[in-house]
């Protein structure tokens, strides 16, 4: 039996993106896989009065179970109210790889879906994306498409090489597919190893020239950045200090993300930073308290750190704090 996201108290991304573009900020799109992560996301966003997009990958959906995810999302809406701020919350499929998966998510209460046909030949990407859009819009669900390929590995998404978005294709793609937002490739990357740099070397700057050209060709249209974690050194160091092995992990500098958030980029995806903060505190707790075996203790510490990290993202990087009355 199909369930509408509206029954769960969720919203689609239309009004979120309109406000973000009008006021020069980006809505945080945080990936989650379990209870502690979604608790942290909602607490951070409610306390900073930020709208939020809860992102679920195909792998996360398989891990958490589609039915349980539906009720977690419903619980998230009520939790935000309990915290005193009824923030707009969207539930989004991240990197959907088939029409069938997108349809199933829509029927299970998702308010937004991404269909990623970026690995396909252009015409096939257009056809697949339009097929998803035609179905989703019947249910007032918003759709994100993608042009260009990001390098890196994250869940089922992986590519050895980046292929920058061709600005000359964006107008045709949006017009023919009817998508509500477009993910572009300007130098970000999936995972915790976004750039191949040696210690002391600078991270290559994002291709803001491509972003600016896309903005010119698609005025007032929502642009999305994937693979935008900053891979904060303090978490990498903490992981390595307590038995981890993450050499040369590096992400997108936060000043570049701030610049992007002030443009037509109105959704910025963050997954790896959450994983790193969470894992760092779990490792620290277990290493410094070796007799501890209560999951509430080490997961609770990780959840608290995640709240701290995401509040900082909203306030200092994305500009999404204090956008909800």
Give the residue numbers marked as catalytic. Answer: 94
- With H, G, I as helix, E, B as strand and everything else as coil, classify residue 132: helix
Q: Of 160, 185, 157, 159, which is closest to residue 170 (Cα–Cα)?
A: 185
| Helices and strands, counts by H and E, the chain | 12, 10
> How many angstroms separate the CA atoms of 204 and 227, rounded?
15
- DSSP code, position 96: E
DSSP 247-305: TT-B---HHHHHHHHTTTEEEEEE-HHHHHHHHHHHHHHHHH-TT---HHHHHHHHHHH
- DSSP code, position 201: P
């Amino acid at each position: 039996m199909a369930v509408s996201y509206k029954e769960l108290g969720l919203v689609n991304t239309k009004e979120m993106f309109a406000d973000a573009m009008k006021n020069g900020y980006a809505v945080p799109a945080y990936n989650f896989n379990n209870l502690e992560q979604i608790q942290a996301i909602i607490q951070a966003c409610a306390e900073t009065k930020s709208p939020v997009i809860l992102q679920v990958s195909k792998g996360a959906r398989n891990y958490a179970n589609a039915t349980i995810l539906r009720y977690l999302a419903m619980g998230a809406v009520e939790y935000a109210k309990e915290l005193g701020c009824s923030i707009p919350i969207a539930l989004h499929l991240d990197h959907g790889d088939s029409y069938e998966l997108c349809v199933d998510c829509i029927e299970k209460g998702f308010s937004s879906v991404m269909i990623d046909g970026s690995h396909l030949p252009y015409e096939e990407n257009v056809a697949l994306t339009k097929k998803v859009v035609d179905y989703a819009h019947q249910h007032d669900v918003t759709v994100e498409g993608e042009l260009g390929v990001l390098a890196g590995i994250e869940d089922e998404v992986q590519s050895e090489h980046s292929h920058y978005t061709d600005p000359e294709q964006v107008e045709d793609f949006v017009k023919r597919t009817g998508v509500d937002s477009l993910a572009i490739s300007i130098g970000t990357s999936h995972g915790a190893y976004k750039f191949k740099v040696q210690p002391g070397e600078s991270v290559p700057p994002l291709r803001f020239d491509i972003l600016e050209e896309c903005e010119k060709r698609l005025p007032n249209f929502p642009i999305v950045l994937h693979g935008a974690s900053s891979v904060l050194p303090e978490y990498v160091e903490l992981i390595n200090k307590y038995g981890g092995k993450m050499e040369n992990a590096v992400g997108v500098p936060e000043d570049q993300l701030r610049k992007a958030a002030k443009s037509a980029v109105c959704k910025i995806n963050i997954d790896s930073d959450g994983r790193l903060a969470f894992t760092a505190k779990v490792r620290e707790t277990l290493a410094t308290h070796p007799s501890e075996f209560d999951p509430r203790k080490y997961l609770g510490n990780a959840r608290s750190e995640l709240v701290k990290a995401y509040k900082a993202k909203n306030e200092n990087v994305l500009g999404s704090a204090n956008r909800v009355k």
